[in-house]
């Protein structure tokens, strides 16, 4: 009996030791290097073999491959897992780096940021507190200071890295709500919950603003009804005269305007609201001014186009999305405020994490400014990027993209088979195939068909959107390697599917 137990114990110990080789630590450096090498090879294979933006696989085809996978059965080794992951994922992953990927706001990423990810996930600092990150916290702060300075904020400003533009917008609306309530009702929402008038709070955005503002309003207990959408002008920018009219109307109706959100770079059109005019109105009515520059923060990088976001420096809070237009891998975003004291509206102290006496002893705990607790050191990617490529280098990428978008707009305008809706301040163009000689075909159907064919074949990807109930195609150009020839050949493909629809139906 005794010997059986001993043998079993030996076996268990052996298994444990076998598995311990997977722990990331000094004795397992060889295992680490070996696995990293394989990961690198898989990525290179992805770059070399995925020579169009998408394989065209359908959800059903791919789902079949998952049917016999039992996650309780281990694979033998890395080679087996890499093969499996290739079949299920890498082979069909959307290739954002491909010049003919011009669909959503996904930038190609830069190598310095990619290699920073290796340090980020291996060393695995958590940026909530100094005692879990040390230098990481100071690097993040330095990048926040840099961003604030580029925006034109004073030394009183501050900020924090976030998981994305949606989270940054939520934080903007959260501060707007709580600030207003304290200032005008002497009511602390953090402590006491929503005041009785909260259902009358109103937030003004353009009809082209990002849906995360509505989502924020509902999360914050104000309801989507709190969001008042202002009509855009012909270039899809917020009409500031209509904005003021709407504010007056809401006040007359007994509602309580608390904030205006200006979009610097709308998701669909890449156009920038008249930020300065909006800031004047915000001041006049004593409203929080939030600028959603998730996309438009790109213009901070380029002297040639920086003037387009003039007025951003007047904001109370700003959303920037480095993973939208600073060529950073997901996730990497920022939320910046003009006055660091605003953050006290959301600071909570926990004795085990960030006790209040840390503040007095100048120990920097970023969690005081965040709605997350454990948080990735995403800032390191931007650090590597600025050190290796520099602001000017990134700015040149942005200038190139803007130039390509301008040329693409002219190409679409001069082509009788296409109809283009906007001139973009950045790089998003909304258009549709409109060759329809006998006007017998519904353009919505033709363009929906075109988009589905593009995804089915995967050789060029564009996005789709609706404007005034009509379906349009959209180019979002974020790759400096995308040439006007790429755009031209994508239009040729679009034309082909357009003709095909007309012939078949
Ligand atoms: C993408 C986008 C967002 C949301 O950002 P995420 O990083 O996707 O959360 C917000 N605002 C605008 C204008 C955007 O384009």
Q: What is the pLDDT of residues 445-470, one digit of tens each?
A: 999 999 999 999 999 999 999 999 99
The confidence score (pLDDT) of residue 174 equals 97
| CATH topology (fold) of 133-388 | 3.40.640
pLDDT over 80 (residue 486): yes
Assess whether the C-beta atom of 321 lies below 6 angstroms from ligand 1.
Answer: yes
Assess whether the C-beta atom of 166 lies below 6 angstroms from ligand 1.
Answer: yes
Q: Confidence class of residue 10 from pLDDT cuts 50, 70 and 90? A: confident
Q: Any idea where the domains of the chain sit in the sequence?
A: 50-110+391-505, 133-388
Quick one: residue 187, left, alpha or beta (phi over 0 = left, psi -120 to 50 = alpha)?
beta
Q: Confidence class of residue 438 from pLDDT cuts 50, 70 and 90? A: low
- Tokens (6 digits) for 374: 């454990």
Neighbours of 47 (CB within 10 A): 11
Q: Are 325 and 107 in contact (CB under 8 A)?
A: yes
Q: Ligand 1, from 105, 266, 270, 430: best to mutate by most atoms within 8 Å of Cβ?
A: 105
Assess whether the C-beta atom of 165 lies below 6 angstroms from ligand 1.
Answer: yes
Q: Of all protein residues, whose CA lies closest to atom 10 belonging to ligand 1?
A: 165
Mean pLDDT over each residue of the chain, to the nearest integer: 95
Q: Give the distance (Å) from ligand 1 centre to CA of residue 264.
A: 11
CATH code of 50-110+391-505, in short, is 3.90.1150.170
**pLDDT tens-digit readout, 138-167:** 999 999 999 999 999 999 999 999 999 999
Assess whether the C-beta atom of 210 lies below 6 angstroms from ligand 1.
Answer: yes
Q: Enumerate residues 6+ apart whose C-beta is below 8 A from 97.
A: 47, 108, 109, 479, 481
Q: Are 93 and 317 in contact (CB under 8 A)?
A: no
> How deeply is 17 buried, as exposed, middle or buried, from its count of CB atoms within 10 A (0-12, 13-18, 19+)?
exposed
Give yes or no on whether 50-110+391-505 and 133-388 have one common fold: no
Q: What predicted TM-score, i.e. pTM, was given to this entire model?
A: 0.95
């Amino acid at each position: 009996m005794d010997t059986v137990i001993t043998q079993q114990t030996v076996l268990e110990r052996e298994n444990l030791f076998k598995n311990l080789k997977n722990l990331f630590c000094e004795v397992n450096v060889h295992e680490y290097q070996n696995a990293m090498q394989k990961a690198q090879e898989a990525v290179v294979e992805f770059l070399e073999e995925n020579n169009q933006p998408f394989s065209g696989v359908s959800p059903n085809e791919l789902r079949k491959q998952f049917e016999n996978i039992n996650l309780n059965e281990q694979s033998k080794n890395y080679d087996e897992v890499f093969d499996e992951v290739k079949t299920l994922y890498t082979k069909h992953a959307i290739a954002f780096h491909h010049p003919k990927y011009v669909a959503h706001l996904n930038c190609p990423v830069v190598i310095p940021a990619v290699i920073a990810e290796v340090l980020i996930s291996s060393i695995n600092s958590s940026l909530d507190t100094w005692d879990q990150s040390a230098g990481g916290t100071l690097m993040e702060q330095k990048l926040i200071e840099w961003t604030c300075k580029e925006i034109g904020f004073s030394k009183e400003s501050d900020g924090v890295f976030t998981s994305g533009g949606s989270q940054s917008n939520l934080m903007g609306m959260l501060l707007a709500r709580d600030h207003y309530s304290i200032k005008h009702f002497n009511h602390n929402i953090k402590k006491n919950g929503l005041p009785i008038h909260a259902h009358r709070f109103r937030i003004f955005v353009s009809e082209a603003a990002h849906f995360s503002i509505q989502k924020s309003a509902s999360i914050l207990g104000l309801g989507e009804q709190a969001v008042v959408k202002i009509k855009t002008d012909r270039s899809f920018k917020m009409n500031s005269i209509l904005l003021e009219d709407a504010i007056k109307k809401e006040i007359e109706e007994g509602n309580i305007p608390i904030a205006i959100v200006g979009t610097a770079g709308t998701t669909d059109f890449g156009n920038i609201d008249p930020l300065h005019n909006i800031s004047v109105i915000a001041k006049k009515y004593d409203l929080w001014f939030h600028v959603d520059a998730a996309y438009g923060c790109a213009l901070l990088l380029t002297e040639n186009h920086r003037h387009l976001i003039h007025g951003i420096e007047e904001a109370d809070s700003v959303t920037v999305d480095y993973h939208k237009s600073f060529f950073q891998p997901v996730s990497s975003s920022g939320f910046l405020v003009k006055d660091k004291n605003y953050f006290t509206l959301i600071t909570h102290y926990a004795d085990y994490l960030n006790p209040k006496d840390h503040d007095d002893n100048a120990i920097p705990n970023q969690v005081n400014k965040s709605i997350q607790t454990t948080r990735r050191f995403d800032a390191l990617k931007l650090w590597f990027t600025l050190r290796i490529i520099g602001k000017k280098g990134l700015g040149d990428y942005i200038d190139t993209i803007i130039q390509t978008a301008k040329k693409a707009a002219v190409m679409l305008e001069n082509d009788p088979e296409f109809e283009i809706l906007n001139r973009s301040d950045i790089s998003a163009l909304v258009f549709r195939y409109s060759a329809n000689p006998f006007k017998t075909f519904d353009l919505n159907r033709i363009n929906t068909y075109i988009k589905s064919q593009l995804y089915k074949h995967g050789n060029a990807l564009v996005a789709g959107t609706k404007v005034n109930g009509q379906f349009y195609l959209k180019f979002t150009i974020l790759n400096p390697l995308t040439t006007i020839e790429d755009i031209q050949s994508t239009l040729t493909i679009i034309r082909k599917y357009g003709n095909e629809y007309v012939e078949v139906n």
